[in-house]
Amino acid sequence: FWVVLGIGSAGWLWPPQVRAAFLVQRISRRNPGDVKEAEQRTKDINELRKDVKLLQNEIVMEMTDDREEVVSMKSQLGEMKGDVMNQMKEIKQVMTMLFDLSASS
């Protein structure tokens, strides 16, 4: 019944299972060149994945080093700021002493 109905409707009225049984090619012919090309693409993709993973690891290491360097620079800046403040206090004391000496003379 399905066969007659499908032939009359060019397969449109067949259920999907019957359509697949009659119209889908079961064995596909593969060109050896296509297989080799697909294998080469797979190898290339795997190599690219490895390269990307290595680059990610390098970037993470560089970011870690950069963070450590920023922390070090911040502490150096804090130390330098403290030194400058101490030197400014010393200069102020010296200037006050010189002013007092010049005023008393």
- Write the pLDDT tens digit of every residue in 59-76: 999 999 999 999 999 999
CA quadruple 32, 33, 34, 38: dihedral sign: positive
> Do 42 and 67 share a structural domain?
yes
Q: Is 99 inside any structural domain?
A: no
Q: Which of 34, 42, 9 is nearest to 50 (CA)?
A: 42
Q: What share of the chain is helix, strand, coil (3-state, %, to 5)?
A: 85, 0, 15
> Do 76 and 36 share a structural domain?
yes
Whole-angstrom CA distances from 94 to 4, 82, 89, 101 are 114, 18, 9, 10
Domain hosting residue 58, numbered range: 31-82
Q: Is 92 inside any structural domain?
A: no
78 band by pLDDT with thresholds 50, 70 and 90: very high
> Do 45 and 19 share a structural domain?
no
pTM of the model: 0.48
Domains contained in the chain, number: 2
**Integer distance in angstroms from the first to the last C-alpha of the chain?**
130
> Do 2 and 22 share a structural domain?
yes
Whole-angstrom CA distances from 98 to 13, 18, 20 are 110, 109, 105
